[in-house]
Structure 1
Amino acid sequence: MKYIDEFRNAELTQKYATAIAQLVTCPWTIMEICGGQTHSIVKYGLDTLLPDKVTLIHGPGCPVCVTPTEAIDRAIAIAALPNVILCSFGDMLRVPGTEKDLLSVKAKGGDIRILYSPLDALKIARENPDREVVFFGVGFETTAPATAMTVYQAAQQQIPNFSLLVSHVLVPPAIEAILSAPNCQVQGFLLAGHVCTVMGYTQYEPIAQKYRVPLVVTGFEPVDILQGLYLCLKQLESGRATVENQYQRSVQKQGNVTAQTLIDRVFEPVARQWRGIGEIPASGLALRSPYQRYDAQLRFAEKLQQFTPSFPETKTPERCISGSILRGFKKPHDCPEFGKTCTPEHPLGAPMVSSEGACAAYYRYRDLSYATRDRTVSGGDEPGEQGKQGKQGEQGEQSSVTSYQQYTTNH
């Protein structure tokens, strides 16, 4: 299949892995931003093909995972109200709030519906004029245009019983927050290809210049990721720091200008809480004044005061280290609850819930025997701690290549 099979080619993948091994002379730490890239890295064992000098860490690139507990609690409170239909994407139903999740509300009779497009919420609102229909909108810039179009259409069609509980977040401010953190160890980034398809990548150029880090727009298949790593490492080895585009078959420098215009028309940047991280300035989207009549948080403000508790935004179960995983300080196997009390069926934290979460990826594709071999960036929660890098022998490297070749042959 054109544009897929060739980017899963085992021989080409190994060639790039070899090229990276020949290129690298110094230890480098690179963060992939997107949860989809994390899944590909773990699924295909791409990190096991890299030399020990290259450390990959997983960034906060899963929108479901970084949705704050407070936002989940608001959605739960609204969904529990009589005469309300709450709509959202499927992953959101199992993300833990302070005390419960949306699935438990649904089990008790709450009308919660899984949608694949926010525009479907308008159809539900038209079909149920006597009920309040709320869409719980989450995601990065990738999903924001569809949410913006939904609000715009609600205004154009004058649908009064629709509202939006918005929790969209933006990638560039998150990258700046990571780079501004004390003792940040990230030296380069693989940018999310689908986000850049919408937004382009000009907004990342000031970040590259300010922090002197290379950023490479990268796709999601094995060859994409190793090409992106090669370009990033080549910059690091030569002392350059620019934005490059590996994902040229999908991304243009200016992005989708029409989608950007729609986002800007409906939303404005605001400070936003990120689960496990805290507040990041200008990292979220809120409805602009002409559309605030569709803001569910304002529409249900009185009810939310009764239901939404006050608590620290980084609160998670004490035994859950999802905050450290989302910040790249830990790997899933560093968690003592991983695969034991924390599983996709009974998650303690959001990274085990989402299909793009790092913990879910490790649980699905990587058994606990990898725990002793993972390259862990930090041995603790503090950014300044430098963990020990696991070493893979030639036999381990060869078995990884063989495993990858077998996988691509069978899939």
Structure 2
Amino acid sequence: MKLTDDIRHHVFARGLNARIHAAAELRRRYRLMSFCHSHALAIARHGLVAMLPPQIELIHGPGCPECVLPASRIDRMIDLARTHDVTLCVSDAMLRVPGARHANLLEARMAGADIQVPGTIGDALALACAQPHREIVYVAAGFETAAPATAEALIDARALGCANFNVLSDHVLTPAAMRHLVADDGIGERVQINGFIAPSHVSEVIGVTPYRSISGDFVKPVVIAGPQAIDVLQAVLMLVGQINECRADTENQYTRAVTEAGDTNAQRLMEEVFEVRESFVWRGLGAVPRSALALRSAFAQWDAERRYPLMWGESATDSAAADAPALAAHGHASAICTPFTPLGARLAGNVDIRVNGCVGREHFGARAS
């Protein structure tokens, strides 16, 4: 597939759809989980669910990187902004993610907390350098795609001697969540995943290799897909073929950007700055082993978790109790999920994704906004 032409060609899309309909066996169910926000947008914008045969079900999970954070962690961010003399820098997507004790960061900002939305982590570092007497705390949320930029900013902060710049590392890891979804019997029985559409941008960083243990250990086919609608259709066709043949391989549809080894320069940055946490609580999933990044001791001076005396860690039981009010507030049947009303993760249920005014109803296995 070429980079610019074929990925937007409607004739090619109709051909792929016809091949999917021909390949999908009536006696089978194909429950395919995607992880990438770009895939969710492509599916909703282009009405892919309506195009596919009914025996193919697309499940979105576990959610956007901001919304997978447990409600208790959102609450502690707000506590930090309210009770310490700091400027808390967050992404725009983080502002409306619900907490449990507090509504969200946006309401905390309207109530007077110093919460800002810089364009990038580099902008937050520049703010810290420009205001050396003001403590700046940047909430670094995101999957593996965003982690190299955080690592680079911390290396720059060390070189500049910017001691008032702090990072709260909330980077989470995709393959670990995938493993957890198929390894945890309770979640696995509810979601019943037959295959994974692996994310595009994350895979550009980590490559193909990390997914091979998922397809090998758990007999689940994995296809890395590009962000366009035709990429998703082609990945669905590849997964249908694997399931029909009773294969469980890791395949790379997004060969125009993803290599076997990934971006080794980005990986070296991450390795220098981060270490893998033994466990991290995800909203809706509980404690997921080795699924998030913490700062190494060499960067303790810039680590907000070490610097500010809040209990950032939580047990899965505590997190489930804290998340319950936030999840219950969204009802039990269905809701509209938009950038203005992110829902937080849900283990099951129907959620409407609203994208640029269009609503596409999808079934969510473990899904946030």
Q: TM class, shorter-chain normalised? A: 0.7 to 0.9
Paired residue for 1:300, among 271, 293, 308? 308
CA contact (8 A) 1:319 1:337 kept: no
CA contact (8 A) 2:96 2:106 kept: yes
Paired residue for 1:176, among 175, 179, 182? 179
Q: Name the aligned partner's letter for residue 252 of structure 2.
A: N
Gaps of 5+ in 2: none
Paired residue for 1:264, among 271, 286, 290? 271
Deviates more, 1:218-227 or 1:109-118: 109-118
Aligned pair in 2 of structure 1 residues 361, 39: CA closer, same or farther (>3 Å)? farther
What pairs with 1:4-403 in structure 2 (closer than 5 Å)? 4=4, 6-25=6-25, 26-81=28-83, 83-98=85-100, 99-182=102-185, 183=189, 185-270=192-277, 271-301=279-309, 304=310, 312-314=318-320, 315-316=322-323, 318=325, 320=327, 335-336=332-333, 338-339=335-336, 345=340, 349-350=343-344, 359-361=352-354, 364-366=357-359, 376=363
SS, match of residue 109 in structure 1: coil
Gaps of 5+ in 1: 323-331, 353-357, 382-411
2:301 and 2:364 mapped to 1: Cα distance? 45
SS, match of residue 291 in structure 2: strand
Task: Tell me how far 1:115 sits from its aligned partner.
Answer: 2.0
Deviations 1:194-248 (A, max 9, x none): 0000110101111111111110110111110001111111111112211111111
1:57 and 1:311 mapped to 2: Cα distance? 26
2:52 and 2:72 mapped to 1: Cα distance? 39
1:267 and 1:243 mapped to 2: Cα distance? 27
Task: Tell me how far 1:343 sits from its aligned partner.
Answer: 6.5
CA contact (8 A) 2:140 2:150 kept: yes
2:328 and 2:84 mapped to 1: Cα distance? 36
Specify the structure having the higher radius of gyration (Cα).
Answer: 1
SS, match of residue 190 in structure 1: strand
Task: Tell me how far 1:335 sits from its aligned partner.
Answer: 4.1
CA contact (8 A) 1:351 1:360 kept: no
Task: Tell me how far 1:116 sits from its aligned partner.
Answer: 2.5
Q: Name the aligned partner's letter for residue 235 of structure 1.
A: Q
Task: Tell me how far 1:32 sits from its aligned partner.
Answer: 0.9
1:377 and 1:36 mapped to 2: Cα distance? 16
Aligned pair in 2 of structure 1 residues 235, 305: CA closer, same or farther (>3 Å)? closer
CA contact (8 A) 1:34 1:192 kept: yes
CA contact (8 A) 1:4 1:221 kept: no
CA contact (8 A) 1:141 1:198 kept: yes
TM-score by length of 2: 0.87
Aligned pair in 2 of structure 1 residues 114, 240: CA closer, same or farther (>3 Å)? same
Task: Tell me how far 1:70 sits from its aligned partner.
Answer: 2.3
Task: Tell me how far 1:295 sits from its aligned partner.
Answer: 1.0
1:209 and 1:7 mapped to 2: Cα distance? 30
Aligned pair in 2 of structure 1 residues 34, 305: CA closer, same or farther (>3 Å)? closer
2:324 and 2:159 mapped to 1: Cα distance? 44
2:202 and 2:341 mapped to 1: Cα distance? 30
* Identical residues among aligned pairs (%): 34
Root mean square deviation, CA, Å: 2.9
Q: Name the aligned partner's letter for residue 36 of structure 1.
A: S
Task: Tell me how far 1:8 sits from its aligned partner.
Answer: 2.5
SS, match of residue 67 in structure 1: coil
Report the number of matched residues. 352
